[in-house]
Amino acid sequence: MIRRRTWRTLHSVLERDRTSLRVLPGLRNGVGILIPLVWGLQSGHLLSGIGVAVGALVAGFAGNTGTARRRLRTMMFATAWMSVTTFVGALAGHRAWLIVSVAALSSWLAGMMLGVSQPSGQVGLLATNALILISTSPQSMSGALYRACLVACGGLLQTTLMLAVDLVSPQSAEAQSVSNVYRKLGAYAASPSRQSDLELAASLVEANDLLRDSYMPKRHRSRLYRLLDGAEQIRMYVVALAEIARGRAYAQELGDTAFARDILRQCAPIFSALGDHVWLIAQGDQRAQPLMYILERASEELSSIAHAAQGVERKEETAAHVEAVARSLMALRADLVQPGALTLPSEALESAASKIKQAWQALKSHLTWDSAIFRHAMRVAIAVGIGETLAKALPWPHGYWVPLTANIILRPDFTSTFTRGIARVLGTMAGLLLATLLLTAVPDRTGVFASACVVVFGSLMYMWVTYNYALFSCALTALMVVLLSIFEQQAPIPTMADRMLATLAGSALAVFIYLMWPTWQHEQVNRALAQAVERERDYFRGVLRVFAEGGKGSPRRLARERQAVRVSRTNAAAAVRQVLAEPVAPPMSAHIMVAILVGMHRFSDTLLSLEAYTWEGRAARSLTQEEEEIARWVDRALSSLADGLRRGAGDMVIDPTGELWHQARVRSHVETMEVNWRALDVIARAVVRLYNVIQTLARVTHEIDADPPQSSPS
């Protein structure tokens, strides 16, 4: 087990995400750093040029990802915060006690900003690091104001470059996210699996989030929303076909498995083609016309296949899903060809004041000792305070690397802190060696070579920030070494040794502070799983509400409930992954946590299939009395499971010996329906399927808890 955890940790350190290699933002931000350096060299004011470059460097981090609107907002926020911390750090550096207090307060604020958003927390972290660095060279009031102005100019320069590049960019972040949805939909249709479905769900969440925070023209944005809505609708029918193709017990007799699998394979390239042309469609570009023709032909061919299968045994039910896909594609084409009627949903019209209010509410909600974000902010403040005190008290010429390292490494959860600590140490050592060797090997009296190194390392840093943390740390450290070498005229080898020692001390301090007051994810995972179960219950109630309303429910309301299921299930899966990487054994068995995730996934797939039948008009009848009793039992079971998880008693609530799990009347209804299985329609079969999913979850998890499997010697 220990060996397995060690390998998992090493794998996370070395893991690379090729989709996160951001070449264009890296080059753009590199140019933003290059311009002030060239100006400084040409004008003879290299130090002032470096001050502007530092502002551009931090603002570049804030504008690395997201929509243009989000990047603009975050970059302006970063520029303002960075200017303030530069001014305060330059003034407070005269007094040790003051800079220790200010650095601790700044790091606490940065930690709390993680509760608002990830970019906000990143901006706060970088601003705190700037404060620590600037404080090593105290200034007068006028000097501090001058440095703050330089940083502000750098931030504004980088923001201007970002807007200019966006104007000539061939595609927006919003369009890329919608394009990714269709590519994931194509991948799922080609090979239906739990993993591909989770990736599709995550892409839908991201696309919806980006479209809500956008200032692109309404006509473009409305087309993207229509494409996203179309993907949502098509996904329901694709999942229903996948359930048949995979031979699910409740669906296989309602359709032909081979027929469903063949249809999915034929649809996969259509969805991928849509993904490749999303930006052209959003712009209304004439080059998208061939795709409109392809959609029309595909719709007609799928409709012909569906009509040919009508009346054919075992193919008729599958054909209804095929016809629904054809209608969805045709409706999507019609709306895109005539976009005048397209409108934006209400959530896309949220005002700036509303967003600020939401951010403030999010920040206030974390002002409690029970919040993982608050505890993280306190840990960072303590670590930075201690690190800054050590830097002032110890006779280390580069002691400020201790609080810098501790601030960068500490994260809200153990897994990220530990793996980032290892990656930070490895990357820092490599960066120190690389930069020191370059500066030693190439004499540079003019600053030209150092400026070139700043641009190269800066660009690589932006490219690698989400690609691999060890590589990012290497580029960041090398960049800092080169920048500081311009100010510090010291021997490179002793300086490198000092920084390595300070880095190790900062890493040890961060891990020690975390272990003294840890926030283990296994203490939070119950809540994440409970929320996933509750959102699944809400979606279940929403689908049943459609039956109660005679098949005339609100598609938009169901879409919101569906989205909530995706978000909560993604969060729960991430929480379980973090728990499995922690060195502390969780109170709930890992097998039980995984069983709950798998059970909710199957439950959701069944509901998606049932909803698909509903919008096809083939499930418009009301539930029978027996089906209503089973549905009420499922609802109570989900509520009981969620309540037990929130109380931290997940193992007890899914014990099948309890009264809830053995209601003879409900079990009798299910057994009768299973005996008459061939006579049941899709609604009855889906209700039985949902009941069996929960019963199986209770039985499996109870057996695991009663007789845990033996761990292997490895």
Alpha helices (H) in 352-491, listed in sequence order: 352-365, 372-393, 401-409, 414-441, 448-464, 469-487
Look up residue 661 and give its DSSP letter.
G
> Mean pLDDT of successive 10-residue segments in the chain (714 residues)?
44 51 73 84 80 83 75 85 90 89 93 82 84 87 91 91 79 85 91 83 84 79 85 83 70 67 88 86 80 84 81 68 83 77 61 72 78 88 93 82 87 75 80 85 77 83 79 83 70 74 86 83 80 90 80 71 83 80 70 82 82 69 84 88 75 51 74 76 80 78 49 34
Within 10 Å of residue 657's Cβ, how many Cβ atoms? 8
Do domains 173-349 and 521-706 share one topology? The answer is no
Of the candidates 620, 598, 610, 606, the residue with the CA atom closest to the CA atom of residue 689: 606
Within 10 Å of residue 396's Cβ, how many Cβ atoms? 17
- Residues 33, 21: Cα–Cα separation, whole Å: 19
User: Is residue 21 classed exposed, middle or buried when 0-12, 13-18 and 19+ CB atoms within 10 A define those classes?
Assistant: middle
* Cβ pair 89, 233 in contact under 8 A: no
User: Is residue 395 classed exposed, middle or buried when 0-12, 13-18 and 19+ CB atoms within 10 A define those classes?
Assistant: exposed
Q: Give Cβ neighbours of residue 295 (< 8 Å, ≥ 6 apart).
A: 270, 274, 329, 330, 332, 333
**What is the per-residue pLDDT for 346?**
61
How far does Cα 218 stand from its chain's mean position? 26
User: Is residue 24 classed exposed, middle or buried when 0-12, 13-18 and 19+ CB atoms within 10 A define those classes?
Assistant: exposed
- Residues 315, 659: Cα–Cα separation, whole Å: 42
- Residues 496, 498: Cα–Cα separation, whole Å: 5
What the block records as the tokens of 708 is 């845990």
173-349 has CATH 1.20.1410 classification: yes
- Residues 289, 560: Cα–Cα separation, whole Å: 32
Look up residue 712 and give its DSSP letter.
P
Listed as own residue / partner, the contacts of 149-152 with beta carbons closer than 8 Å and 24 or more positions apart are: 149/83, 150/48, 150/51, 150/52, 150/54, 150/55, 151/51, 151/52, 151/54, 151/55, 151/58, 151/79, 151/82, 151/83, 151/86, 152/55, 152/79, 152/80, 152/82, 152/83
* Cβ pair 524, 375 in contact under 8 A: no
Domain ranges of the chain: 25-169+372-516, 173-349, 521-706
**What is the per-residue pLDDT for 148?**
92
* Cβ pair 279, 172 in contact under 8 A: yes
DSSP class per residue in 242-306:
HHHHTT-TTTGGGS-HHHHHHHHHHHHHHHHHHHHTHHHHHHT-GGGHHHHHHHHHHHHHHHHHH
**What is the per-residue pLDDT for 368?**
81
- Residues 691, 668: Cα–Cα separation, whole Å: 12
* Cβ pair 271, 163 in contact under 8 A: no
**What is the per-residue pLDDT for 378?**
93
| Exposure string for 253-270, b = 16+ CB within 10 A, e = fewer | ebbbbebbbebbeebbeb
Distances (CA, A) of 706 to 370, 592, 638, 649, 654: 32, 11, 22, 15, 12
Angle at 365 between CA 359 and CA 371, to 5 degrees: 125
* Cβ pair 492, 340 in contact under 8 A: no
Q: Give Cβ neighbours of residue 195 (< 8 Å, ≥ 6 apart).
A: none
**What is the per-residue pLDDT for 99?**
92
* Cβ pair 16, 467 in contact under 8 A: yes
- Residues 211, 119: Cα–Cα separation, whole Å: 17
Class of domain 521-706: mainly alpha
| Residue 111 Ramachandran class (φ > 0 left, ψ -120 to 50 alpha, else beta) | alpha
**What is the per-residue pLDDT for 699?**
72
SS3 518: coil
